């Protein structure tokens, strides 16, 4: 995370970075491509299918593009109620139906304060694009949700039944967002069923 922060050039620094009199603006490439999504469910007509308001916004693969997108758009405190931001690996849709997510689940954290949600979202994004998790291949992406009752952050992973891997990801995520609160892991399979069967399967 620190490496990414250190690597990230502010626009002023980029402007000042001159090599032999020539402006050097080589972008800093990420390990892989990521996509930001936006879902504003408050605008959806009643009865519309889930996902009808989900939009792919921008795919990026440089540190510079990430900071620009984050600064200008993707802060959860800018979200209206009942809207979500997602940042997922390019090629994975933030839906239970996506083949990479179909057997997966999510770690969830609730946040009652908007500033806190922004911080946890940013720390998580930096950890994802900086490939900070031991099991990077298990990660699908992260979702920030603003809801009337409580805001939420969810880290989606691929193989819900692999308890050891999920526990390791959950412990690491808690460190990254720096929370002492208990966090719970739920299977997407359980979420598809009625609310009563949705308890957390793992916790850290």
Stretch that binds ligand MGP, among 5-13, 93-101, 111-119, 178-186 (CB under 6 A): 93-101
Backbone angles phi, psi at 26, to 5 degrees: -60, 120
- d(CA 6, CA 197) in angstroms, rounded, equals 44
Closest distance of CB 50 from ligand MGP, Å? 4
Site size for ligand MGP (CB under 6 A): 6
Residues in region 14-43 near ligand MGP by CB under 6 A: none
Q: Which stretch binds ligand MGP (CB under 6 A): 56-64, 94-102, 112-120, 157-165?
A: 94-102
Query: Strand pairing partners for 145?
Result: 84, 152
Q: Contacting ligand MGP (CB under 6 A), which of 28, 89, 95, 201?
A: 95
Footprint (CB under 6 A) of ligand MGP, residues 127-156:
145, 147
The answer to the question of residue 50 lying near ligand MGP (CB under 6 A) is yes
Return d(Cα 25, Cα 64) in angstroms, integer.
Answer: 10
C-alpha 182/C-alpha 73 separation (Å) is 30
Q: Which parts of this chain interact with ligand MGP (CB under 6 A)?
A: 50, 95-97, 145, 147
């Amino acid at each position: 995370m620190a490496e990414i922060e250190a690597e990230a050039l502010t626009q002023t620094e980029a402007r000042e970075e001159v090599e032999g009199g020539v402006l050097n603006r080589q972008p800093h490439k990420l390990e892989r491509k990521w996509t930001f999504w936006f879902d504003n469910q408050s605008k959806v007509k009643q009865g519309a299918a889930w996902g009808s308001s989900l939009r792919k916004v921008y795919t990026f693969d440089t540190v510079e593009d990430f900071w620009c997108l984050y600064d200008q758009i993707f802060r959860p405190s800018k979200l209206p109620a009942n809207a979500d931001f997602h940042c997922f690996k390019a090629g994975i849709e933030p839906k239970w139906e996506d083949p990479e997510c179909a057997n997966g689940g999510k770690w969830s954290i609730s946040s009652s304060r908007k500033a806190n949600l922004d911080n946890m979202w940013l720390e998580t994004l930096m950890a994802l694009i900086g490939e900070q998790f031991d099991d990077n291949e298990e990660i699908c992406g992260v979702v920030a949700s603003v809801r009337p009752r409580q805001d939420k952050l969810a880290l989606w992973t691929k193989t819900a039944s692999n308890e050891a891997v999920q526990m390791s990801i959950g412990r690491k995520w808690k460190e990254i967002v720096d929370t002492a609160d208990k966090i719970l892991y739920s299977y997407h399979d359980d979420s598809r069923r009625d609310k009563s069967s949705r308890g957390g399967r793992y916790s850290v």
